[in-house]
Amino acid sequence: MPTNGLHQVLKIQFGLVNDTDRYLTAESFGFKVNASAPSLKRKQTWVLEPEPGRDAAVLLRSSHLGRYLSAEEDGRVACEAERPGRDCRFLVLPQPDGRWALQSEPHGRFFGGTEDQLSCFATAITPAELWTVHLAIHPQAHLLSVSRRRYAHLCPREDEIMADSNTPWGVDALITLIFQNRQYCLKSCDSRFLRSDGRLVWEPEARACYTLEFKAGKLAFKDCDGRYLAPVGPAGTLRAGRNTRPGKDELFDLEESHPQVVLVAANHRYVSVRQGVNVSANQDEELDHETFLMQIDQETKKCTFYARTGGYWTLVTHGGIQATATQVSANTMFEMEWRGRRVALKASNGRYVCMKKNGQLAAISDFVGEDEEFTLKLINRPILVLRGLDGFVCHRRGSNQLDTNRSVYDVFHLSFSDGAYQIRGRGGGFWHTGSHGSVCSDGERAEDFLFEFRERGRLAIRARSGKYLRGGASGLLRADADAPAGVALWEY
């Protein structure tokens, strides 16, 4: 499979939470730092960078300012350095409970404090010098073993998660990171948690919780006994090995999980490449040859479709569509038009893709009719995490409403029917729209919502009223936006 944008390692961004549950914040004014924020937003997001030529030392860069945290000899801290100097070097010392202690490498003192009283002058580690790592990336991704160069996926036949797949194809390759009690769990696509002995369990018990560690930009998962997850044996079964220090076998990359979709044409058959290079609507089953990886270009908002057989859909002579392109070009880009429960695709020749009488797809239509409309179904998000501009979507405590500005997230369950999605939350209640556009999560009956994939990694959700879901000023989820843009777009 060509890389060509298909495999993007996620840049690990995170927040640091102190002992009083406040986030380390880099302020624009005076480049000061404090620990006053109750939630994780832009000013609270940091990136860990290795110090070139120094194995142990790391740099902490503010994602918001693009500047580096520094600690002077007298303990004063700031986030002012545009280029990292000697005072910007820190040692990360993981503690048994999963928290970090940050020690100035040149001065040997520890960084901590509360509110705006932060310093790097402590000679010993107390609770005030301990920080919890809270990942700021979207928690649904693919997990790649660094040593084996294979992807982790659920193997239902063996009832295990194995790192033995060359490509992260299908719903089984989706891993969701669950953050709770200052640790992380690995959740499979069927909502089970990976225990350190390799078993999959339904509850996030102690042996299914891990401490995150970073090494050279890679992730390691340490269990409650101080051992690390690694692929074991010929099949690469994920479980804790013997090592108490992370080596190459214990390191993983997180890669962006692009949407994988199936399309159904007007003849009620799946679009497929099963019978050769021609893209045709001729299959009754939804299997690998009927699944396509969909990517949206950030600039043009047009999309590509990549087949597991190794080629992009491309426009060929006389308007035909074949899955033969190995590189993205103008002919592999399609403009999506959202038409309620259906979608139409316009090719680079300005014509719409239609289903011909023999089932083959061709971009030969000037107008959209029944043969130009397709049902598009997202298959690799059976469980869903949504993040907007202000934070994650989460159940509001003591209410049937949903917050949109939380640092923590809830996992929702997704089902599909005739071009629409039904969303189920905690306790099995369905999302539904109430009075004045409010969105509630305690419905006894499913309500249909339409998903429109508008940007790379972001979708718009349309309610039955025709309005789009957005995060309101009060932090509540509401269906009252007229356009699918800005606050009405959700990372998924």
Amino acid at 394: C
Percent of the chain residues topping a pLDDT of 90 = 78
Task: Using the structure block, give the residue that is written with the tokens 């050279």.
Answer: 216
Tokens linked to 454:
């508008």
Average pLDDT, the chain: 92
* Calculated CA dihedral for residues 389, 429, 378, 185, nearest 10 degrees: 70
Q: Report whether 241 contacts 230 (CB < 8 A).
A: yes
Q: Report whether 121 contacts 109 (CB < 8 A).
A: yes
- Please state the pTM of the whole predicted model: 0.88
**What radius of gyration, in Å, describes the C-alpha atoms of the chain?**
24
From CA 379, how far away is CA 376, in angstroms rounded?
10
Tokens linked to 340:
């309620």
C-alpha closest to that of 69 among 40, 46, 101 = 46
b/e 389-426 (16+ beta carbons within 10 angstroms → b) = bbbbbbbbeeebbbbbbbbebbbbbbebeebbbbbbbe
Residue 43: what pLDDT? 93
pLDDT of 119 > 50? The answer is yes
- Work out the pLDDT band at 307, boundaries 50, 70, 90: very high
Reported in sequence order, the residue ranges of 95-210 that DSSP labels E, i.e. its strands, are 100-104, 110-114, 117-122, 130-135, 140-145, 150-155, 160-165, 175-180, 183-187, 193-194, 200-201
- Work out the pLDDT band at 8, boundaries 50, 70, 90: low
Q: Report whether 375 contacts 418 (CB < 8 A).
A: yes
Residue 1: what pLDDT? 34
Render pLDDT for 88-104 as a digit per residue (tens, 0 to 9): 999 999 887 778 999 99
Task: Using the structure block, give the residue that is written with the tokens 């214990």.
Answer: 250
From CA 332, how far away is CA 348, in angstroms rounded?
8
Task: Using the structure block, give the residue that is written with the tokens 């690694």.
Answer: 230
Tokens linked to 62:
């503010």
Least confident of 52-61, 207-216, 383-392, 464-473: 52-61
Q: Collapse the DSSP code of 435 into the 3-class scheme (helix H, G, I; strand E, B; otherwise coil) and give the result.
A: helix
Q: Collapse the DSSP code of 70 into the 3-class scheme (helix H, G, I; strand E, B; otherwise coil) and give the result.
A: strand
pLDDT of 6 > 70? The answer is no
b/e 337-359 (16+ beta carbons within 10 angstroms → b) = ebeeebbbbbbbeebbbbbeeeb
Render pLDDT for 415-430 as a digit per residue (tens, 0 to 9): 999 999 999 998 889 9
Segment 452-474 mean pLDDT:
92
C-alpha closest to that of 450 among 486, 410, 419, 471 = 419
Tokens linked to 198:
């390799």
Render pLDDT for 137-183 as a digit per residue (tens, 0 to 9): 889 999 999 999 999 999 988 899 999 999 899 899 999 999 888 88
Render pLDDT for 336-370 as a digit per residue (tens, 0 to 9): 999 999 999 999 999 999 999 999 999 999 999 99
Helix (H) or strand (E) holding 283: strand 280-283
Segment 466-492 mean pLDDT:
91
Render pLDDT for 208-228 as a digit per residue (tens, 0 to 9): 999 888 887 789 999 999 999
C-alpha closest to that of 239 among 317, 330, 339, 161 = 161
C-alpha closest to that of 244 among 231, 229, 259 = 229
Q: Report whether 42 contacts 75 (CB < 8 A).
A: no
Residue 143: what pLDDT? 96
Render pLDDT for 175-200 as a digit per residue (tens, 0 to 9): 999 988 888 999 999 999 999 999 99
pLDDT of 300 > 70? The answer is yes
How is 328-367 classified by DSSP, letter by letter? --GGG-BEEEEETTEEEEE-TTS-EEEE-TTSBEEEEESS
